[in-house]
A and B are shown apart, each in its own frame.
Chain A
Amino acid sequence: MSGTEAKASMPPGVRLGQVSFVWRPWLVLVTLVLAAAAFLVFCLSIGVGDFPIGLSRVVATLFGRGEQVDEFVVMDLRMPRALAGLIVGIALGLSGAITQSVARNPLASPDILGITTGAGAVAVFLVTTTGGTAAAVAGSVGLSSAALLGGLGTGLLVYFLAWRRGVDGFRLILIGISVTAMMQAVTTWLLASADIRDVARAQVWLVGSLDNRTWDEVRVAFWCTLVLLVVVAAVAFPFKPMHLGDDVAAGLGVRFARVRAVLLLCAVLLAAVGVSAAGPVPFVALVAPQVAMRLVRWPTPPLIASGLVGALLLIGSDLIARAVLPIGLPVGVVTAVIGGPFLVYLLVRANLR
């Protein structure tokens, strides 16, 4: 209580004309390293295959200075897969960071909240009920839009069921878990009663896979993700005090109900875009923000770093599935192997507190 001038260490500020922000060297450094790592894995993913291309040749080709043979393999054959991994990884990681922050609970990821399962159920519905022929006509873009709608619909359903004079994080998770269970039951029932060939098609998609991506799908996912990134960036500022709870945020002048609705909608759409492009790849959205938090040493999920960890995790898992494991497993199997134990770790930690 002394009146002496405190030697409290303030976060250092950076000022550039009208723009000012808090300078956090560690956050910036880790984010840059993550971006570099994501780019490295991205290039490795392009290089690996039946026709291996060295890292330097991949980079040269990416910057338009490669040989013609490489150019065809890189740009036409492998780029869609790697880009899909990058975009879906960022979308899922960011989506998880938002839902975990809004609910103030590490378990609140799109996987747990039913968004990915809902997207999967609707996609399976399309495959099995319209029959293989109709689905083939609709093409994979039709499947993607069905998944997008399914994810969005389930997300909204969970949101409104959890709504009771505001959204409580814990209620959101409980309702999410029950909706997930319902959607899983629907999926199982659809698969059990469908034609065996359709089931095979649906199964491949349900595990989550980056196989056979086309430029069309990647383009749709890219633009959707970009627009959502811009919206999230715009509301990132009023979002800052919301980690302290609704009342404190309101006291600090934030219209939290509106900000939260916009952010949750963005999170649901990001997850749905991710699922529609690569299937319900499990655990990326759950694990990425938690890993990013620990790397950045920040008490809340950092948005950009979470997206980058998501990309790293997804492309890395895909790389492991293709290059290390003997049979070509879909990427979802690898992320599940990594993510399952991590979920157990989170649950145990939550119980210990």
Chain B
Amino acid sequence: MAAQFTARTEAGVQDVPRLAARGITVGYGDRTVIEELDVAVPPGVITTIIGPNGCGKSTLLRTLSRLLKPAGGSVVLDGEDIGRLRTRDVAKKLGLLPQAPVAPEGLTVADLVARGRHPHQSWLRQWSSDDADVVRRALAMTGVADLADRPVDSLSGGQRQRVWISMTLAQGTDLLLLDEPTTYLDLAHAIDVLDLVDDLHESGRTVVMVLHDLNLATRYSDNLVVMRAGAVLAQGHPRDVITAELLHEAFGLRAKVIDDPVGDRPLIVPIGRTHVRS
């Protein structure tokens, strides 16, 4: 049974997935967004979900993180049905950064990151010495330690996103789910945030994210999940997955896939209508 849900990592090693969806059907009201979907998140790598607008990328991520309850099927976290786990226990294993979160005006960086310790605290134990250490490390790792006393709303978009990732890190989980971490960021800041995500992966964490930009997804992930209309169209290493045919099938996009001049991954060059040499 386990073999069915294992995935092939880059090294070709068979590993038990940390997180997997088994035949999930998810919808809002009568509208079904995802139907009978299977997907597995291999440990220790960056998995990125891509697909056209409205294909159910975020819905899948939200279901994997237990924000949404599937109408059918189940999500399995470390071998257990996530729906049967306590919310707090899920929060100790899985860190989640939703799309475009907003902090209250005036909340400082240190206070926001400190909230990440919530799953480990209780009414009586609201701030232990462990908490201070973990928060300090999270701030340092994301490079925002110097901003600790600044209000979050006074920071630039890129810094702000680093702070939110820092909060998710302070949660102390080695499994991170990021919903479009580069939304509203310019390309330089998006690269900056994705480099940080790669640092997290290098330090042994498993990352699942949703990205809009196909070339960034190709560059930064080891495992791509390509979705269309609520189903997984293809899954695997970008080198194996990204082809002109797949892009046309998934996005209806005419594109040329070439070798990335600076990397060892494919590069997507979209073919539009204007300024194209025939």
Contacts and interface: CB of A to CB of B under 8 A. Distances in A.
Contact of A299 (B105, B116, B121, B168): B105
Contact of B136 (A1, A6, A237, A244): A6
Given A6-B140, A6-B145, A299-B105, A11 B110 contact: yes
A251 B122 contact: no
Most buried by B among A11, A18, A21, A253: A253
A327 interface: no
A247 B127 contact: no
Interface string B52-63: 000000000000
A284 B140 CA distance: 43
Chain B contact surface mostly: mixed
B98 to A, nearest CB: 4
Contact of B126 (A6, A21, A244): A21
Interface in B99-153: 99, 101-107, 110-112, 114-116, 118-119, 121-129, 131-132, 135-136, 139-140, 143, 145-146, 148-149, 151
B101 A8 contact: no
A237 B123 contact: yes
B168 to A, nearest CB: 8
A20 B130 CA distance: 11
Nearest to B135: A10
B127 A252 contact: no
Interface of B: 28-29, 65-67, 86-92, 95-99, 101-107, 110-112, 114-116, 118-119, 121-129, 131-132, 135-136, 139-140, 143, 145-146, 148-149, 151, 168, 171, 196, 199
B115 A20 contact: no
A317 interface: no
Given A6-B145, A8-B145, A253-B88, A244 B103 contact: yes
Given A20-B125, A254-B87, A300-B104, A8 B98 contact: no
A285 to B, nearest CB: 19
Contacts of A2: 140, 143
B101 A13 contact: no
Most buried by B among A7, A15, A252: A252
A22 interface: yes
24 contacts: A1-B143, A7-B145, A8-B139, A9-B110, A11-B114, A13-B127, A13-B129, A13-B132, A15-B128, A18-B124, A19-B124, A21-B127, A234-B123, A237-B122, A237-B126, A240-B115, A243-B104, A244-B101, A248-B97, A251-B91, A252-B115, A253-B87, A299-B105, A299-B106
A244 B115 contact: yes
Contacts of B149: 9
Contacts of B135: 8, 10
B125 A19 contact: yes
A153 interface: no
A251 B86 CA distance: 12
Q: What 8 pairs between A and B have smallest CB-CB spacing?
A: A253-B91, A6-B145, A251-B96, A247-B98, A299-B106, A8-B148, A253-B88, A6-B140
